[in-house]
Amino acid sequence: MHNRRRWKRVLIGAFAGCAVLADAGASAAAAAASTEQLAISTPPAGSAAWVQDHSFGRGLPDPATTTPAAAAEFFASLAPTELDRLIQDYPLVVGNYDGAPLDLRYRANKIALAQERDRARARAADHKLDSDTRALAVSRANDVEHLLAPDRQILAFDPRGRGLVTEVWGDLADAERISVVVPGSDADLGHFDQAADPLRGPAGMARALHAEQRKQAPGTRTAVIAWTGYVTPSGLGPDAVTSRLADIAAPRLQRLLAGLKETTRPDAPPSLLCHSYGSVVCGDVAPEIPRAAASPSDTSGLTDMMVFGSPGMGVQSTSELGTGVHVWATRNPSDWIANVPYLEVGGLGHGADPTAAGFGAEQISSARAAGHTGYFATGTDSLHNFAAISLGHYQDVVRPAANS
């Protein structure tokens, strides 16, 4: 047992060390030494009181066990006054309830965000707390305040831990095409918006994609979701080289997709854009996505899954990902992720390289993209391709040059 643990530590160090050397610099080295993250797998705060509330003359459906389809049926049965009461009493529950009406969730999350902002401000002003704690509270209040802007549509918000947030661009209820951005390491409430380098954050990625979709197809109703709905690895430490957080994230992403099926009516299944560690989450979800196509040769009902900057999807080839997805893959030459070992040993590592010829993914160009976070930059082939694929304009997809 002792030797096995020692061998695991050696492997973790090797993987993290490769990533650090690839990224180079003191910040990466510090990130590699970061601690493991506490994943969030339980229903949102307030769920226990919600389940015990019988003041409506009937039990409220348990968020831990109720399917999005059953949730949609429950919320549809309520009167407007009852809905108003629920979002006032249980904003975190309603705001995170997949299957609940979209507008109701937006309203509930405005309340939950305002409550979190006020709570953070109170902590920031509490001089019984140490200066570091107060500074963190100021940062949290500022992060939340930005999300309270009138034009922002927050589909989910969970203040626990580093904070989880999911935002929508476009009219999700009326969209013909829906895209979901699944980010990788370091995505959380504090890094959702990146003022200095917007494309490093999920919000910036989603904004760029939505703008490109509108440019390519101004007559098509589109919506993009930035889904930071799971606890991501912090830095390049042990969590980044195992699937532990992805395994816990996958059911949460499945519930999001099941909820969208109840509350939206797109012309095709939502497409998934999976960046970095997010592609490990997508690899976990893929086998559970049903094939909606009418026949094996009909690809109209397949979920387009775009993976980029990927350390692997936890499999050796697309044949392990089920029949419900069409996988597209790209990695630009300057992305340091190429230097991370593409293998899986004893639960460490994420399997084969999705851009390898034998993996089975359809390869797309990411020309003019730079580094690990440059895939959504204006003028890149990757951004063009992400929009074209998510719109279903497969004839417009740019392929890699023959010598690349």
| Domain limits, the chain | 2-33+162-396, 47-141
CA 151, 124, 146: angle at the middle one, nearest 5? 10
pLDDT in tens, 347-376: 888 999 999 999 999 999 999 999 999 999
Q: Answer for the pair 39, 230: CB distance below 8 angstroms, yes or no.
A: yes
Whole-number pLDDT of residue 27? 38
H-helix or E-strand containing 26? Answer: helix 26-32
For residue 391, give the amino acid letter.
L
- CATH class of this structure's domain 2-33+162-396: alpha beta
- Per-residue b or e along 363-400, where b marks 16 or more CB atoms closer than 10 Å to that residue's CB: bbbbbebebbbbbbbeebbbbbbbbbbbbbbeeebbee
In 3D, which of 218, 271, 227 has the Cα closest to residue 392?
271
- How many Cα atoms within 13 Å fall on the side-chain side of residue 20? 20
Any bridge partners for residue 154, and if so which? 167
| 241/316 Cα distance (integer angstroms) | 16
pLDDT tens per residue across all 404 residues of the chain: 334 333 333 344 444 444 433 333 333 344 444 568 999 999 999 999 999 999 998 899 999 999 999 999 999 999 999 999 999 999 999 999 999 999 999 999 999 999 999 999 999 999 999 999 999 999 999 999 999 999 999 999 999 999 999 999 999 999 999 999 999 999 999 999 998 899 999 999 999 999 999 999 999 999 999 999 999 999 878 899 999 999 999 999 999 999 999 999 999 999 999 999 999 999 999 999 998 765 655 666 899 999 999 999 999 999 999 999 999 999 999 999 999 889 888 888 899 999 999 999 999 999 999 999 999 999 999 999 999 999 999 999 999 987 55
Q: Answer for the pair 75, 102: CB distance below 8 angstroms, yes or no.
A: no
- Stated length of the chain: 404
Longest dimension (CA), the chain: 68
pTM: 0.90
Q: Can you tell me whether residue 32 is helix, strand or coil? A: helix
Q: Answer for the pair 326, 320: CB distance below 8 angstroms, yes or no.
A: no
Residue with tokens 């993009």: 224
Distances 237 to 109, 221, 247 between C-alpha atoms, Å: 32, 40, 17
In 3D, which of 216, 206, 203, 149 has the Cα closest to residue 178?
206
For residue 282, give the amino acid letter.
C
Whole-number pLDDT of residue 304? 98
H-helix or E-strand containing 87? Answer: helix 80-89
Any bridge partners for residue 325, and if so which? 303
H-helix or E-strand containing 167? Answer: strand 164-170
For residue 373, give the amino acid letter.
T
User: Within its chain, how far is the Cα of 68 from the centroid?
Assistant: 18
Using CA atoms in the order 147, 153, 154, 155, what is the torsion angle rounded to 10 degrees?
-170
Instruction: Determine how many CB atoms are found less than 10 A away from the CB of residue 334.
Output: 12
Whole-number pLDDT of residue 36? 85
Q: Residue 366 has what DSSP assignment?
A: -
- How many Cα atoms within 13 Å fall on the side-chain side of residue 386? 35
Whole-number pLDDT of residue 210? 98
